Structure 1
Amino acid sequence: MDSWITTSEAAARLGVKRGTLYSYVSRGLLESRRQPGQEESLFDRTQIDSLAAAKHDGRRAGDRLLKFRAVSTRVSSISDDRLYLRGRDLSDVCDTMDFAAAARFVLAVDEPRRAPEVDLSVIARVDVERRIPLTVALIAAGDPLRADRTDAAAKALGLLPVLAQAVSEIDLGHPWIDLLVTTLIDNGLAASTTAARVAASARAGIFDAVLAGYAALSGPLHGGAPAAAYELVDAVVDGTPVDRALADAVVDGRLPGFGHVVYGGPDPRATIVFDRIRADRPTSPALAAADLIVGRAGRAANVDLASAVVARELGLGPRAGEVLFQYGRTVGMAAHVVEEYGEAPLRWRGSDTGHDRTR
């Protein structure tokens, strides 16, 4: 039944209401079936994705080759400014699980598969924010079965202890850090998870697919964003007037640590982390600086500012936020990769009106 999806998921993939979906059935555009004990009708995923693709270029589904299949995910979802991991509110996940338990929950696997050994002395020679991608690249390079998709989730779970060793100067067991990386596990179809899914669609192995995600994550507008937020917090802690620090921090109209494309209000991840710091260390200088910045900016902070406060208060340096983003998001990217393996291959392909460049 893996090729069949529920009415709700089918409607989401098409971007229509359930009533519209049933009208497609009555017009013979789609087929549906019912199973005993199922509350919703089931639809063939290929039919749904073909119809979704056809809608984008105005041609009937039967008149074209499928060039793109719509994407939805069960790894995480965002609704009313709340983030859900596998259907559970992030705040509940953080209240009841540490990062290790949350990783097993999101990857839906209990036992890790041990990762191939790598020479950590080589990894230690590069900057800390490059060590996790390099570790995974070396693991992939030394694995003769790196394209084997068997036990992909268990392989991803087995990566985590090796990644922790690669960045051993950061205490990943610290309660604030454990909480932060848990909040960073996934946040919908972000650039990093999408990049990993594109690679998985071409049937890259789990290590190479995650590497594609790290490449997207390295950008200053994604995983690299906490570094700029750190510099802002650091400046205010060191005595720079908040107005001057804010003015210096703005780049291309963006204020680091603020705003997010999917949240209209407060970023729930930031709220969770700030609440913990406030409870544990209410006199934190970095937290006080963040409060000044938020009050003067008049906007809701995002998780990058919370990450900056953690890194500054614990003395980890400006690039630690990127490392923690990589570590936490490894779980989410791997979960998306495993999910993508269940889809039709090579579905990430846009229309091209010129010569055939599909290869």
Structure 2
Amino acid sequence: MSTSNSLTAAEAAAALGISLPTLYAYVSRGMLSSSPDAQGKHRLYDAGEVRRLARRKEDGKRAGKVAQKVLDWGVPVLESSITLVAEGRLLYRGHDAMDLAQSASLEEIAALLWECSARRIADAPAVPFATAQWAAWLKLWSDSTPLDRALVLLPAAAAQMPRVWALGRDAQLDTACAVMRLLAAAMISAAPSNEPLHRQLASTWRVRNRQQANVLRAALVACADHELNASTFTVRCITSTGAHLFGAVAGGLAALSGPRHGGETVRVGALLEEASRAPDLDRYLANRLARHEHGAHGPILSGFGHPLYQEGDPRARLLLGMLADCAPARSPLAEVLGLARAVRDTTGAEPTVDFALAAIERVLALPAGAAFTLFAVGRTVGWIAHAMEQTRDGRLIRPRARYIGEYEATGRAWGTAQTRHRFGERSGHTQPARQPAQRRHARRRLRGATQGAASQRKTRPGLSRTDPRHRAARQFDRLAGSEPVILAVAFDRQPDFARDHLEDGRTRDTPGRRGLAMFQFENPHFTHRLSPSKNFSVVPIIDVR
């Protein structure tokens, strides 16, 4: 372990906010590793590993209160080393993306995010596809929008190519380069080429000014990745199923097209057009804001205000500045910047990258849909990087949902009449009375499940060994193995009390009796958190899963 990337025990404990004994306990449990100091008798801790553990602890503290907001700009749901958005900055593999956008090409960013050399991408073999077939497809779909053309041609091309995505690192890189070039070629209706993508776009759109072509290059780099947005999460979910890269990227492209994601550029273009025709810009904005206040759906103004950048989107700031330096003399640049200034003065909202891309399309007189094309071609590089990372991870992304709807009181599912009869639970549903023989058998099953637990000497806090809650919890400890274990927990207080104190469980309120909640614990190491107290009692299930 390099000493420059290592911490002492005191430094690691301070970073985690724990004591030294707790730090040593983390090491003994395998949560943290250490290595001997070559210059002394002390142990050293990897700074990156400590930092990751500290972030997990912080997320875990918040999980019980904001779990329902995980999918809405909330707590991170997976780990990645590709992109960081923090403190108003965008970092690619630890490098400031705005500094990279000053000079780097999209292919160089691909090399950074894909963890290979730029030469490896430049020397990748040409797309193994018949030129005549591709030209015929382009002619057939020439009247379609860039998005529609790409959504059709990308899967069609995949059917003609070998499925070698998971056969090795070289095969993955070759496939990645082919996907990147095919998608760009489909969107600009051109033949796949190894030429830098910003030059292909400039040639197709007849942008001959070098500074203006440089704006296109910077836009591609600024759009290369943006952490776990909707389209990137879609790509990772598809990749986690073992699907081919072509299918994952096609799914990401479909997600990007939505009006609340990359399709926002179309709405910004419409806003710029309306504002340019308005005789009084201030009155126009006042009317738009008034419609929002009276219940209009959607954001206040498309292209303004990003939840992750309280001080303004750095991508928009960079691109608008570069555009102002090279705009044609008779361009509508003044109108675009005037709208941004008026919105800032009226609402305090700053332009986003969607506004900047739409401004580039309008000021440079690019074809309709050019803003979305810039977004999609640039973001493909990030999608592929996340697909590679997810492939290495190897796990299936399968979140759970909290059911809040109605359900019938029949069958063997949790909360049904049969299950509630097992535990003698009353509900609002009409149920047949339990016969004496049924009650007798139920008591025998419960006694059998907890038999022998009373002889164990170790007691739970606040409970005697004869307390039935202690016996039930001991039985749970015995049943808890590698498989998930389900408990029925009857609370004397509201179920919210359980959520606050048992953050690792997922609750589901049961109709019929207030204060009854179910918890499913995937990790048996958290079973010690179920130690009964005076606030609740635990009833074990005889048949665990």
TM-score normalised per structure 2: 0.54
Residue aligning to 2:150: 132
The alignment status of 1:217 with 2:224, answered yes or no, reads no
Contact 1:196–1:333 (CA under 8 A) maintained in structure 2? yes
Q: Per chain length, whose mean CA-contact separation is higher, i.e. which structure has more relative contact order (CA < 8 Å, sep 6+)?
A: 1
The alignment status of 1:278 with 2:324, answered yes or no, reads yes
Separation (CA, whole Å) in 2 of partners of 1:185 and 1:21: 41
The alignment status of 1:172 with 2:201, answered yes or no, reads yes
Judged with a 3 Å threshold, the aligned counterparts in structure 2 of structure 1 residues 245 and 185 are, in CA distance, closer, same or farther, namely farther
Separation (CA, whole Å) in 1 of partners of 2:156 and 2:179: 12
The alignment status of 1:40 with 2:46, answered yes or no, reads yes
Separation (CA, whole Å) in 2 of partners of 1:220 and 1:50: 33
Residue aligning to 2:138: 120
Residue aligning to 1:156: 176
Q: How does 1:202-213 map to 2 (within 5 A)?
A: 202-213=241-252
The alignment status of 1:189 with 2:228, answered yes or no, reads yes
CA apart distance, 1:88:
0.7
Q: Which amino acid is 2:201 matched to?
A: L
Contact 1:233–1:290 (CA under 8 A) maintained in structure 2? yes
How big is each residue's C-alpha offset from its partner over 1:216-263, in whole Å with a ceiling of 9 and x where there is no partner?
111100010011111122233445532355445966251111011211
Contact 2:316–2:352 (CA under 8 A) maintained in structure 1? yes
Q: State which of 66, 79, 83 in structure 1 corresponds to 2:90.
A: 83
CA apart distance, 1:314:
2.2
Q: Which amino acid is 2:354 matched to?
A: D
Q: How does 1:23-102 map to 2 (within 5 A)?
A: 23=22, 26=25, 29-35=29-35, 40=46, 70-102=77-109
CA apart distance, 1:57:
7.7
Residue range with higher mean Cα deviation, 22-31 or 249-258: 22-31
Contact 1:217–1:223 (CA under 8 A) maintained in structure 2? yes
Residue aligning to 1:232: 271
Q: Give unpaired runs (5+ residues) of structure 1.
A: 1-5, 9-15, 59-68
Contact 2:33–2:45 (CA under 8 A) maintained in structure 1? no
Residue aligning to 1:297: 343
CA apart distance, 1:144:
4.2
Contact 2:268–2:302 (CA under 8 A) maintained in structure 1? yes
Identity of aligned residues (%): 24
Q: State which of 226, 249, 263 in structure 1 corresponds to 2:309.
A: 263
The alignment status of 1:315 with 2:376, answered yes or no, reads no
Separation (CA, whole Å) in 1 of partners of 2:279 and 2:167: 52
Judged with a 3 Å threshold, the aligned counterparts in structure 2 of structure 1 residues 140 and 248 are, in CA distance, closer, same or farther, namely farther
Separation (CA, whole Å) in 1 of partners of 2:339 and 2:19: 48
Separation (CA, whole Å) in 2 of partners of 1:21 and 1:154: 49
CA apart distance, 1:266:
1.1
Q: State which of 373, 386, 395 in structure 2 corresponds to 1:336.
A: 386
Judged with a 3 Å threshold, the aligned counterparts in structure 2 of structure 1 residues 232 and 275 are, in CA distance, closer, same or farther, namely same
Separation (CA, whole Å) in 2 of partners of 1:204 and 1:53: 30
How many corresponding residue pairs? 335
TM-score normalised per structure 1: 0.79
Separation (CA, whole Å) in 2 of partners of 1:105 and 1:43: 22
Contact 2:311–2:350 (CA under 8 A) maintained in structure 1? yes
Separation (CA, whole Å) in 2 of partners of 1:136 and 1:142: 10
SS at match of 1:165: helix
How big is each residue's C-alpha offset from its partner over 1:273-297, in whole Å with a ceiling of 9 and x where there is no partner?
0111111228564321222112221
Contact 1:32–1:41 (CA under 8 A) maintained in structure 2? no
Residue range with higher mean Cα deviation, 275-284 or 263-272: 275-284
SS at match of 1:115: coil
Contact 1:149–1:206 (CA under 8 A) maintained in structure 2? no
Separation (CA, whole Å) in 1 of partners of 2:331 and 2:282: 17
Q: Which amino acid is 2:97 matched to?
A: L
Q: Give unpaired runs (5+ residues) of structure 2.
A: 8-13, 38-43, 66-75, 191-199, 203-212, 408-412, 415-545
Separation (CA, whole Å) in 1 of partners of 2:219 and 2:246: 23
CA apart distance, 1:166:
2.1
CA apart distance, 1:20:
4.8
CA apart distance, 1:189:
0.7
How big is each residue's C-alpha offset from its partner over 1:53-87, in whole Å with a ceiling of 9 and x where there is no partner?
998689xxxxxxxxxx9412111111211111111
SS at match of 2:154: helix
Residue aligning to 2:374: 324
CA apart distance, 1:301:
0.6
Residue aligning to 1:199: 238
Question: Which of the pair has more CA radius of gyration?
Answer: 2
